[in-house]
Amino acid sequence: MTPDPDDLRGRLRRAGELLREFYEGRHRGALARSRRDEDDLFMLLVLSETMGIPNPASYYTLELLPLLYDRFHEWHLRMGMEHSPLEGFRCC
Amino acid sequence: MTPSSSFPGFLREPGGPRILFIGGKGGVGKTTTASALALELARSGRRCLLVSTDPAHSLGDVFGIRLGPRPKRLREGLLAMELDPDEEVGRYLDQVRENMQGLVRPAMYHEIERQLELSRQAPGAVEAATMDRISRLMAQATGPTSRGREWDVLVFDTAPTGHTLRLLALPEIMAAWTEGLLRRRDRSDAWGRALERLSGGRAGERAGEGDELSYIDEVGSELPSDDDRSHRIREVLLERRRSFTRARRLLLDPAMTAFIWVLIPEKLPILESEKAVHTLAEHRVPVVGMVVNRVLPAGELGAFLEARRAQEEAYLARIGESFAQIPRVHVPLLARDVEGVETLERIGRILMGDETTAPPPT
Ligand SMILES: Nc1ncnc2c1ncn2[C@@H]1O[C@H](COP(=O)(O)OP(=O)(O)OP(=O)(O)O)[C@@H](O)[C@H]1O
Ligand SMILES: [Mg+2]
């Protein structure tokens, strides 16, 4: 029985899509992780003083805190700190 | 006997610098010099705002008047104030608090509030707040007079050396720091854009351009998206960089700003001044002149003070060598402490060379 060419084309297309999804998915994951790492580092730089690393600019970082707090809890968990490292900030 | 060029006479000219910093070691006569100079400038038609940046204020005492963080009129053409860093910090925290609305879940307000209160005591807060205020005043000095500004020249009576040098270095350090953070944001945003391209469109649910404030209507329900947040973080950093860069530019502009160094002819003040003037030169802050204060007056002083004078002459020679390039003016040691407008005016005349011979000590 000769294979139905339409069916083959259909199946190939389908396989191609799966492959693309697979690779893009991994790629997307890598990009998203890179961005998150970058943002984590940024958070660390901004919060350094409160965590005991001297930061000459700590006063000026206060105005950034409201923009960062929303991500703070996830951040300190990701950084391997079970509890909030900020003295005055108890998110958990 | 005054080694002189056009300093300090040129300070009186209408086109002269609009921002004067008076610096020096503790107790050498900064407050005295700043006050005398401001009075003299006011007299010659350049209206002054005299500002004490020293946390241990003594400006009010010299005039026998209680001063605060708002300009007070001392006489025609002369306003004075003493900065209050605590009040500045408070105002800043209020602003942060206000901006917080709509950015964080109300449930977190309390925690953030605690964090802000702790920051009040954070190291560097007072200094940063002082620098903020100074740079806003400097910006005002260069702006149009039409904005209700009642003065032409800013005269800063600064805190002793170390404090002031750190303060002046701040804009440079901060600009570099902000630059670093902005680069991190650039990288984060670049990853974000790559992610968007991969998904063949806008990945984030970025709020429509031009209506970044739209979420304010929906406080509590809808917090800004990641992209929106990122955008606002960048805005905050850019604004900071703008103001640090502006302060730095004004500080280094010899047409705008003049730094006047005060010292006395004694060993330690000379050593400290050598270091400080060197540091200022490294930071390219223009030192336009020096005031050598408390020089023993001319005339017969008696055996005890004549012995001192011999020592003083050696120190004056050292000053002449170390600061050969910087115009200097001498102010004699007076019989009494400097207090009240009359004595200050007399010192002003001496500074300007209008009264060269000091009357015999009383
Ligand atoms: N030429 C002078 N003759 C006599 N006394 C002087 C003279 N100049 C200043 N004084 C006195 O010396 C003391 C210190 O002066 P002043 O307050 O101006 O110094 P300062 O550098 O501002 O000090 P601080 O570092 O504490 O702010 C004051 O009591 C002042 O009256
Ligand atoms: Mg003083």
- pLDDT tens sequence across A18-75: 888 887 778 888 888 888 888 888 988 888 877 777 777 888 888 888 888 878 888 8
State the closest ligand 1 atom to the C-alpha of B347, by its place in the atom list counted from 1. 1
pLDDT at B267: 96
Q: Is the pLDDT of residue B96 over 90?
A: no
Nearest ligand to the CA of B160 is 1
Residues B168 and B163: their CA atoms lie apart, in Å, by: 9
Residue B135 tokens, joined:
């740079």
Compute the average pLDDT of residues B229-236: 89
Residues B330 and B222: their CA atoms lie apart, in Å, by: 67
Residue B359 pLDDT class (50, 70, 90 cuts): low
Q: Is the pLDDT of residue B248 over 50?
A: yes
Residues A92 and B264: their CA atoms lie apart, in Å, by: 59
Residue B205 pLDDT class (50, 70, 90 cuts): very low
Compute the average pLDDT of residues B319-348: 95
Report for B159-173, B206-220, B267-281: range of highest mean pLDDT: B267-281
Residue B138 pLDDT class (50, 70, 90 cuts): very high
CA angle B95, B101, B102 (to 5 degrees): 140
* Residue ranges of domains in chain A: 5-78
pLDDT at A2: 61
Backbone angles phi, psi at B201, to 5 degrees: 170, -160
Contacts of A22 in chain B (CB under 8 A): none
Q: Is the pLDDT of residue B47 over 70?
A: yes
Q: How far is B86 from chain A (nearest CA, A)?
A: 13
Backbone dihedral region for residue B70 (phi beyond 0: left; psi -120 to 50: alpha; all else: beta): beta
B3's CB contacts (< 8 A; 6+ apart) are B320, B327, B328, B329
Ligand 1, from B39, B260, B336, B338: best to mutate by most atoms within 8 Å of Cβ? B338
Residues A58 and A41: their CA atoms lie apart, in Å, by: 15
Q: Are B326 and B287 a contacting pair, CB within 8 Å?
A: yes
CATH superfamily placement of domain B9-89+127-175+249-352? P-loop containing nucleotide triphosphate hydrolases (3.40.50.300)
**Which residues, in sequence order, are bridge partners of residue B332?**
B295
- pLDDT tens sequence across B55-93: 889 999 999 999 999 999 999 999 999 999 999 999 999
**B258, containing H or E segment:** strand B257-263
Separation of CA B42 and ligand 1 centre (Å): 21
- pLDDT tens sequence across B139-186: 999 988 777 899 999 999 999 888 888 888 888 888 888 998 999 899
Q: Is the pLDDT of residue B3 over 70?
A: no
Question: Using the beta-carbon criterion (under 8 Å), do A28 and B99 form an inter-chain contact?
Answer: no
A61's CB contacts (< 8 A; 6+ apart) are A46, A47, A49, A55
Residue B294 pLDDT class (50, 70, 90 cuts): very high
Q: Is the pLDDT of residue B26 over 60?
A: yes
Q: Is the pLDDT of residue A10 over 70?
A: yes
Q: How does the average pLDDT of chain B come out, rounded?
A: 87
Q: Is the pLDDT of residue B303 over 90?
A: yes
- ipTM for the assembly: 0.74
CA angle A46, A49, A50 (to 5 degrees): 95
* Residue ranges of domains in chain B: 9-89+127-175+249-352
User: Which residue, A87, A50, A70, A75, is CA-closest to B233?
Assistant: A70
Residues in chain B: 362
Contacts of A86 in chain B (CB under 8 A): 115
**Half-sphere exposure at residue A51, Cβ-oriented, CA atoms within 13 angstroms:** 12
